[in-house]
Structure 1
Amino acid sequence: MTVTVPRTGTPTLREARVPQGGIHEGVRELRRLPEGWRPQPYDLFELVPQGCTIGAEIRGVDLSGPLAPGLREELNRALLEWKVLFFRAQHLTSAQQSAFARNWGELETNPLLARGSTADVVRFDKGAGATPTFENVWHADVTFRERPALGAVLQLREVPPFGGDTMWADMAVAYDNLSQEVKDRIDGATAVHDFIPGFARFYAPERLAPFQDTFPPVEHPVVRTHPETGRPLLFVNTSFTTRITGLPREESDELLRHLVQQAHVPEYQVRFRWQPGDIAFWDNRATQHYAVNDYGAHRRVAERVAIAGDRPY
């Protein structure tokens, strides 16, 4: 609400006006579960919430061996309900990390990123002079693919003495809290996703040129439906979404700025402080994440395995 101050006398109130394109102030709806979803207890592990709607630590599970069907089912339910799961001190080999991820489907690789010890593993080795790939930016992984990743399993091999946390944002709650006017504008809309803007921040054009035919621009819904929960999800991100289809450039840019800002709301987030051997397993369909580069010249080594997904609808 704005206040007009007359030249003489007491301030008087006039009609409230909310700036367009900003993030609203005040109470937010923080609904963790989809409509009609009935919470059930977990019998095979202890689940410790790390946030209101997103993030849970799983205790009492060893990920180094095969998962029994019942355990896989409970972990999948926890993933759908909490969007990102944390497992402390697992210290998996690359083969064990990949085997765990395969419980959720085929694995995918990204030829633009450095490989680890096996073809399925991407290695992020950060320190003085390292390329700052996908740090300090909110994004979902590989939305420039026709079928973006279902999820990812990340393990920290080496942790700096301070900093280096990762944050995740709940994009279902982000959608819930959009104004009805914005929801009406994006209902049925699609957006273009392209790998070049995201990678051009740290790769030269000649490094990217060979992949333009492999990864042509694709269109995805601005609001995606989660294939397992049916929940609507805001599905645009700073790294790869370039424009909203059919809108004039200025209008598209303004609307996209508003939409990508939603990941920045603290109430939608969880932040994880790593220890060596920790695992994070997240639903890439329902979240965005942000790796915080606040550890100076110290080294941070992470390895990630990605699970192939389906085409958003």
Structure 2
Amino acid sequence: MSVTSVTSAGPRTVLREARIPGDGMYEGRRTLRRLPKGWEERPYELFEVVPQARTIGAEIRGADLSRPLPPALREELNRALLEWKVLFFRGAHLTSDQQRDFAGNWGALETNPLLAAGSSDDVVRFDKGDGAVPTYENVWHTDVTFRERPALGAVLQLREVPPFGGDTMWADMAAAYDNLPREVKERVDGALAVHDFIPGFARFYGPERLLPHQDLLPPVEHPVVRTHPETGRRMLFVNASFTTRITGVDRDESDRLLRFLFQQAHVPEYQVRWRWQPGDVAFWDNRATQHYAVGDYGSERRVAERVAIEGDRPF
């Protein structure tokens, strides 16, 4: 059926061409599925879960992280982590040792020689303010994907919060994968991509700082789409900080496809945003998310400590 419009020259029966660039993201309905298909959702008995967004992010009320976790509480928190991907605990005020002990319920703790240490080598301290090293957190990324076994997750606590800004955002990469166009899924399912620490850090550190780690941290390959080892969920697993190319694909085509895949974390429907108060703790599943620390607090001081948990090899 033709479309009729009226102009100063009289009626027209053909709509003019309206072309926009391809390979973009456009408006429309998005699939927002929080749980894997077939997942049995059960009530929580040991704490209250307060959702913060549709598919990702929940505040946990009534769980004391400062004490050793009984097995039943650890099991419920792990289930909440799998179902919500990032958990928030308002005003926990943990010591560094308590923070380490809590994270240790999920496995051995990892160290990162490229970041400043806090009270121990496995506590990373981010002290941002006037005169600090320019931030390398305000980009969508998944932690340490340049390792053969990227972190399972991380526990972050804000010690000092600026008077405004400094929020952190997380994106649900299972939702990002669910909403890829069919033809893109066909291209990336089964594909591998190269991850390297150098691109993410070379913007802030000179060669003299990075060279000692170059041989210890060679580039690694991971699936473009990984499978969650506990839920079986398929998730997009490339990020703008560390993913350099798709294996076996022409460089220009790899760059174009990666740019499109990187964009997926920017969709607000896949995100949750947390406004920090001093002593707040966030615990996220690094296998299933990307995150972004918003650098909008100028010269104000923001101090955070993070403990990361060793993970497995993506498949």
Q: Could you tell me how far apart the structure 2 residues matched to 1:20 and 1:218 are?
A: 31
Q: Could you tell me how far apart the structure 1 residues matched to 2:20 and 2:190 are?
A: 25
TM-score by length of 1: 0.96
Q: Could you tell me how far apart the structure 1 residues matched to 2:148 and 2:305 are?
A: 24
In structure 2, relative to structure 1, the CA distance for the partners of 1:4 and 1:93 (3 Å cut) is farther
Q: Which residue of 1 aligns with 2:99?
A: 97
Q: Does 1:244 align with 2:240?
A: no
Structure 2 residue matching 1:163: 3-state secondary structure: coil
- 1:232 equivalent among 211, 215, 234: 234
Q: Which residue of 2 aligns with 1:184?
A: 186
- 1:133 equivalent among 123, 135, 144: 135
Q: Which residue of 1 aligns with 2:257?
A: 255
- 1:293 equivalent among 292, 295, 307: 295
The CA deviation string for residues 196-228 of structure 1, in whole angstroms up to 9 with x for no partner, is: 000011111111011001100000000000000
Q: Could you tell me how far apart the structure 1 residues matched to 2:140 and 2:258 are?
A: 13
The answer (yes or no) to whether the contact 2:48–2:62 under 8 Å persists in 1 is yes
The CA deviation string for residues 244-275 of structure 1, in whole angstroms up to 9 with x for no partner, is: 00010100000000000000000000000000
* Letter paired with 2:37: E
* Letter paired with 1:135: E
How far the C-alpha of 1:14 sits from its partner, in A, is: 7.4
RMSD: 1.7
Structure 1 residue matching 2:176: 3-state secondary structure: helix
The answer (yes or no) to whether the contact 1:21–1:257 under 8 Å persists in 2 is no
Q: Which residue of 1 aligns with 2:208?
A: 206
* Letter paired with 1:128: D
* 19-28 vs 44-53, which moves further: 19-28
TM-score by length of 2: 0.95
The answer (yes or no) to whether the contact 1:137–1:238 under 8 Å persists in 2 is yes
The answer (yes or no) to whether the contact 1:168–1:269 under 8 Å persists in 2 is yes
In structure 2, relative to structure 1, the CA distance for the partners of 1:111 and 1:163 (3 Å cut) is same
* Letter paired with 1:267: E
How far the C-alpha of 1:17 sits from its partner, in A, is: 6.8
How far the C-alpha of 1:301 sits from its partner, in A, is: 0.1
The CA deviation string for residues 182-205 of structure 1, in whole angstroms up to 9 with x for no partner, is: 000101100000000000111111
Stretches of structure 1 that go unaligned for 5 or more consecutive residues are none
Q: Could you tell me how far apart the structure 2 residues matched to 1:4 and 1:304 are?
A: 61
In structure 2, relative to structure 1, the CA distance for the partners of 1:210 and 1:11 (3 Å cut) is farther
Q: Which residue of 1 aligns with 2:169?
A: 167
- Equivalent pairs counted in the alignment come to 311
How far the C-alpha of 1:13 sits from its partner, in A, is: 3.9
Stretches of structure 2 that go unaligned for 5 or more consecutive residues are none
